[in-house]
Structure 1
Amino acid sequence: MKTVAIISQKGGVGKTTLALHLAVAAERDGKTTVIVDLDPQASAATWKDLRDEAEPVVQPAQVNRLNVILDEARKHGAKLAVIDTSPNSESASLAAARSADLVLIPCRPHLLDLKAISSSIELARLAKKPFSVVLNAVPVRGALASEAIAAINTYDAPVAPVHLTMRAAYYHCLVNGQVAQEYEPTGKAAEEAFLFYKWVRKQLGKSFT
């Protein structure tokens, strides 16, 4: 089983949206997936309550139960675990990062968000795990994406080559317990989410693909 941790010490950057889209894409690719929801707000679990489909499994948890839950998921045949963390919790984020094969740090292309990623990058480095910053909610037009990449480069941090733009489908879908691939299968958001999953799948290596 492979594990992806999605961490950020800043709220509102799209951690849960990223986790849900990644998990559903993996399920659609035939990879049994569990989302471990470490956020006390339980946004992923709330989404699951609205969902008609049985998959992916969403498991709310406290960080002291993380290893137990990951072990149980592995025993039950899960191929991927996606850990959704809470902001402003360094201990939980570090534990998630240390449990992961890949750490993703979502970031919006705005000054305050770009300033805030340094602590998350430090946690990923402390965990000694591969990581990438993922640009999220990027305006469809304009130079903000390239400007944000230049800013992230000053941290000497890798940036995922696929970013998610600011599209209504990412928000409307969640109300119905869906993701963009289900809400608007032929839309741009669905295409981006699939390309992002393909990139993550490649990062996880041949044993996952």
Structure 2
Amino acid sequence: MRTISIISQKGGAGKTTLAIHLAVAAMQSGLATLILDTDPQATASQWYQWRGGGEPDVIDCAAHALLARKVQQASELGAELVVIDTPPHADIMAREACRVADLVLIPCRPQAFDLAAIEATADLVRAADKPAFVLFMGGPPRAPAIYREARELIEGTDRLETRKVAVAPVMLTQRAAYHHSSGEGRTASEFEPTSKAAEEVATLWTWTRAQVDV
């Protein structure tokens, strides 16, 4: 079994959007997948209610002391992939999520304040010594200069380089399908299978799957 933890100290970075789209993409590829919702706001759990249950399962886990056991139980029950959705501004839960992860994804909007917040998250993943990638979320679909400048800013930050945090070559941009589908308990690939958003998710999953070898 593989575990992907989605961590950002910045609220509104798109953690839950990333979590549910990765989990559904994994499920659609044939993997037994579940989401561990560790955010007290329970956004992923709310999405699951809108979805009416079914797969992928979403399990609440607001107590950091229970996270490792929940992951172990998922493995024992036959899960092949666990996606952990974490809350912002929660160092203890984020550290625990890093500890149990095979891969850490750090969603980030390509904006100054969001980019500055990456260092705080990078501090949390350093001690875990796990592969970590910044993944741009919610930026304009056609703005190569914005992404180039954001990437250069991240890659040129010595403090991030020493933490081995790289920029993922994939992203989920600002598209209506992400928002409309979530409100119906679905994802972009389920809501509009031929949309640009669905293409982005497919590319994201192909890349992510290669990182964790599932």
Q: Give, in angstroms, the shift of residue 141 of structure 1.
A: 2.2
Task: Supply the AA of the counterpart residue of 1:124.
Answer: V
Task: Supply the AA of the counterpart residue of 1:42.
Answer: A
Aligned match of 2:148 = 146
The aligned runs of 1:34-183 (5 Å cut-off) are 34-52=34-52, 54-61=54-61, 62-142=63-143, 143-153=145-155, 154=157, 155-156=160-161, 157-183=165-191
Task: Supply the AA of the counterpart residue of 1:145.
Answer: Y
Gaps of 5+ in 1: none
Task: Supply the AA of the counterpart residue of 1:198.
Answer: T
Instruction: Calculate the TM-score normalised by the size of structure 2.
Output: 0.94
Per the alignment, in what secondary structure is the counterpart of residue 58 of structure 1?
A: strand
Among residues 186, 191, 195, which one is paired with 1:187 in the alignment? 195
Instruction: Report Cα offsets for 1:100-131 as digits up to 9, x if no partner.
Output: 00000000000000000101111111111011
Instruction: Report Cα offsets for 1:38-85 as digits up to 9, x if no partner.
Output: 000000000000004510000011211111111111011000000000
**Deviates further, 62-71 or 77-86:** 62-71
After TM superposition, what 4+ stretches of structure 1 lie above 4 angstroms from structure 2? Answer: none
Task: Supply the AA of the counterpart residue of 1:69.
Answer: K
Task: Supply the AA of the counterpart residue of 2:88.
Answer: P
Q: Give, in angstroms, the shift of residue 21 of structure 1.
A: 0.1
| Residues in 1 aligned to 2:127 and 2:17: alpha-carbon distance in whole angstroms | 25
Per the alignment, in what secondary structure is the counterpart of residue 127 of structure 1?
A: coil
Task: Supply the AA of the counterpart residue of 1:173.
Answer: S
Task: Supply the AA of the counterpart residue of 1:160.
Answer: A
Q: Give, in angstroms, the shift of residue 196 of structure 1.
A: 0.3
Instruction: Calculate the TM-score normalised by the size of structure 1.
Output: 0.96
Per the alignment, in what secondary structure is the counterpart of residue 127 of structure 2?
A: helix
| Residues in 2 aligned to 1:141 and 1:76: alpha-carbon distance in whole angstroms | 43
**Deviates further, 79-88 or 53-62:** 53-62
**Deviates further, 120-129 or 109-118:** 120-129
Gaps of 5+ in 2: none
User: How many residues get paired?
Assistant: 206
Q: Give, in angstroms, the shift of residue 164 of structure 1.
A: 1.0
